[in-house]
Amino acid sequence: MKFNSIAAACTLALASFSNADVWAQSAEGHPGWPGAGQLFVGTNYQPFDRRDRDQIERDIQRMKQAGMKVVRMGDLAWDAFEPAEGKFDFRLFDWIMDRMQAAGLKVIMDIPGQPAPVWLHKKYPGVGIVTERGARLDPVERYMDDTSDPDYRRLLLRLADTMTRRYAKHPALFAIGYNNESGNGMVSYSEADRKRFIRWLKRKYGSLAALNKAWAAQRWSRHLSNWDEVRLPYIEGAGPYERYLDMRRFWSDQTVEVLELLEAVRKKNVPDKPAISNLWDSAGRKGFDYLATYRNYVSYGAMGFYPGDPLGAGFEATMMRAGMKAPIWFNEFTAGGPGYYGTPGRSRMWAHFGLLMGAQAVMPWTWHSHHGGEEQALFGLVDHDDRPSWKLDEFATIAKEFSQLEKLGFPRLQQSEVAIAYAFDNMIATNLPKEGMNNTVRPYLNPGYMKQAHNAYEPLFKDNIDVAIIHIGHEDLRRYKLVIVPGLYLLDAASTARLREFVAAGGTVIMTAQSAKVNDNNQWHDTPLPGGLSDVFGLRTNAFYNAGTLQTTVAGAEIKAELGTYEVLEPSTAEVLARFDNVDGKTPAITLNRYGQGRAIYVATAAHPQLMRPLYRQLYASLGIAPGPQTPDGVYARVVAGRTLYVNTTGETKDVVLGGAMNGVLTGNRWPGVLRLGPLGVDLLEK
């Protein structure tokens, strides 16, 4: 059966798979956790930096006066709690917890597992970092700890057990956090690490023959005759793709194992308190596979939020929320910075932007400006001379506004109908180290996965539509109406199977060029591409060329743009929905194939907003996806409990055309038909 448009094709697909119970998102989050249904403004606090108890007492009173509800502390201070092995000192922290409780403030207590103390490094050298050249490094900066070391883990768990048991019943305790910025750190190359890597490979592959096949060891005399010949590939290259990917997977698993061990301690000692940890899965030096594992150690997605542009900020926050309906916690939040004092109104704007994305809490980094250390001259809410800055007043304003908004439907729990596929494996496969000859793949991967993902996200983001960023191999796809796979070069077997099931059952998927080229071992498929899904998409696409400017028409929109490399689509059962007008043979630009009860759409170029916007918009009505409020560029909005929150992320005044007269809840203004938002302005409108 052929269709004249994408919309017509998807109308039939939706009719066959429209059961609201099937699409409904399961009730996630924890309504019984402390603070459910509230909004929080708090701060990050390093009490061990302060001069004396009088100064700490003054800090706490200022926090209370500013309307703050929660304080995150304990992080980065292992040796303040355990100055020598087995000798704990909680006297100051006990007093601070009591003073927090007296002031009505709650505490997120971080288990300060990184950095490890100097005494631990000295007594247990296995926790030190060894470079790929064999040099042992002194722990001269944060996170220079080998977290796979057994002594490190043993002592960390003892610390976690001691702290959680001590404060389990303290009335100020609100939540537990694990190892600040887990995912940051350095890869280590000690002999013990190499042996742990070998054990990991044995569990994964079972036999040396299977490892040799997975690593393409027949190439260039790299055959392994025994397990002891295995080496950790260099983090900076060079080395074959397959081995490098497994090395990064190994280190990801080490990070996840530590988080799971800490979670087991929480469940044993403080099961009534959530885990709200400041995670950094996308850290450049190491990172870890958060989206495949997060349900094992988080109660709420939490992160450090230091936004640059709205698109990137929205994508990153959405990725941290993952497939959960639960809200997001900004455990660290933009205020000042190293050498950056701050901009009036900026933090307030980003706080309300966070509410659009589903945030429940903003906690500025940091309370007091830092005098020394690695973050010397990092400017917080209180200046170096102990005088409160204007930023403290700004966060007091945010706290007051959040107090209003938590009675009006915030935090907003998203139930996304659109998902974008992301995978840690794919990030490694498409961001290889400096590898000499192996860089030959890079021109084909331009613009790279993250750029593709942002490009696929941008039209939805600007149409004010909620999106989930998920690992599709680890989620129930039935809750989504549309799944987008933008340049997932490595599409693992589990994700391939889930996509096949999703489409067969009536779902709609859009895949862009450069997807499903390599298998789980980072080797190119020996079957027609896209690997494992050629029949689902009803085509074969192996050839690709760079034509520079490409011309096509999508849903009536004429497109002429630098779209880079395009793939030659060879349809078998797929219908051609758009063709390139300026390439030989006018090859297909977009195809649609019916598979089972669903539709599989393939785009012949990398994801670009120019192509994706008209494609999405033609799908909305047929899939029952409603765009959000219409807003000018740089203004974003969501409807919450019948009211609409607008946020102007730009430095210019923006006018938003309304459907009639509205009242501004935050400004108190009456808007007769046009909302005028000043630079960085926000307002919540109701009729």
**For the domain that residue 302 is a member of, what is the CATH number?**
3.20.20.80
Same domain for 150 and 49: yes
| Structure confidence at residue 261 as a pLDDT band (50, 70, 90) | very high
**Quick one: pLDDT at residue 36?**
87
Question: How many CB atoms are closer than 10 A to CB 642?
Answer: 9
| Structure confidence at residue 637 as a pLDDT band (50, 70, 90) | very high
Same domain for 679 and 587: no
- Residue 669 above 50 pLDDT? yes
Is 639 contained in some domain?
A: yes
Same domain for 81 and 19: no
Is 527 contained in some domain?
A: yes
**Quick one: pLDDT at residue 101?**
98
**Residue 378 per-residue DSSP state:** B
Q: For the segment 344-366, what is each residue's pLDDT rounded down to a tens digit?
A: 999 999 999 999 999 999 999 99
Over range 83-87, report the average pLDDT: 98
**Quick one: pLDDT at residue 15?**
45
- Indicate the residue among 359, 375, 405 that finishes a domain: 405
- Residue 600 above 80 pLDDT? yes
Spell out the alpha helix ranges (H) of 178-271: 191-205, 208-214, 241-269
**Quick one: pLDDT at residue 33?**
84
As beta bridge partners, residue 359 has 328
Q: For the segment 303-349, what is each residue's pLDDT rounded down to a tens digit?
A: 999 999 999 999 999 999 999 989 999 999 999 999 999 999 999 99
- Residue 441 above 90 pLDDT? no
Write out the two tokens for 468. 């989930």
Same domain for 659 and 525: no
- Residue 157 above 50 pLDDT? yes
**Quick one: pLDDT at residue 547?**
80
Same domain for 644 and 594: no
Q: What does the radius of gyration of the chain's CA atoms come to, in whole angstroms?
A: 26
Is 80 contained in some domain?
A: yes
Half-sphere exposure of 385 (CA within 13 A, CB side): 2
Share of the chain above pLDDT 70, in %: 93
Q: For the segment 370-401, what is each residue's pLDDT rounded down to a tens digit?
A: 999 989 999 999 999 999 999 999 999 999 99
**Lowest model confidence (mean pLDDT) among 14-18, 149-153, 194-198, 591-595:** 14-18
| Structure confidence at residue 23 as a pLDDT band (50, 70, 90) | very low
Is 266 contained in some domain?
A: no
Cβ contacts of 4 within 8 Å, gap of 6 or more: none
Write out the two tokens for 106. 């709650």
Share of the chain above pLDDT 90, in %: 87
Same domain for 552 and 427: yes
Same domain for 123 and 52: yes
Over range 99-125, report the average pLDDT: 98
**For the domain that residue 576 is a member of, what is the CATH number?**
3.40.50.880
Is 228 contained in some domain?
A: no
Same domain for 675 and 599: no
CA separation for the pair 226, 229 (Å, rounded):
6
Q: For the segment 542-557, what is each residue's pLDDT rounded down to a tens digit?
A: 999 988 899 999 999 9
Q: For the segment 473-503, what is each residue's pLDDT rounded down to a tens digit?
A: 999 999 999 999 999 999 999 999 999 999 9
- Indicate the residue among 598, 623, 648 that finishes a domain: 623
Same domain for 482 and 584: yes
Is 261 contained in some domain?
A: no
CA separation for the pair 398, 405 (Å, rounded):
10
**Quick one: pLDDT at residue 147?**
97
Same domain for 304 and 166: yes
| Structure confidence at residue 32 as a pLDDT band (50, 70, 90) | confident
- Indicate the residue among 405, 423, 446 that finishes a domain: 405
In order, the DSSP letters of 59-113 are HHHHHHHTT--EEEE-TT-HHHH-SBTTB---HHHHHHHHHHHHTT-EEEEEE--
- Three-class SS state of 197: helix
Is 497 contained in some domain?
A: yes
Q: For the segment 237-251, what is each residue's pLDDT rounded down to a tens digit?
A: 767 889 999 999 999
Count of domains forming the chain: 3
Is 243 contained in some domain?
A: no
Question: How many CB atoms are closer than 10 A to CB 659?
Answer: 9
Same domain for 359 and 307: yes
Regarding predicted confidence, which is higher, 12 or 633?
633
Q: In the block, which residue shows the tokens 């990030």? A: 427
Over range 149-163, report the average pLDDT: 98
Query: What range defines the domain where residue 494 resides?
Result: 6-25+415-623
Q: Identify the H or E element spanning 146.
A: none
Mean pLDDT (the chain) is 93
Rounded to two decimals, the pTM is 0.94
Q: How far is CA 296 from CA 289, 292, 318, 578, 612, in A?
A: 12, 9, 19, 44, 34
Same domain for 419 and 399: no
**For the domain that residue 682 is a member of, what is the CATH number?**
2.60.40.1180
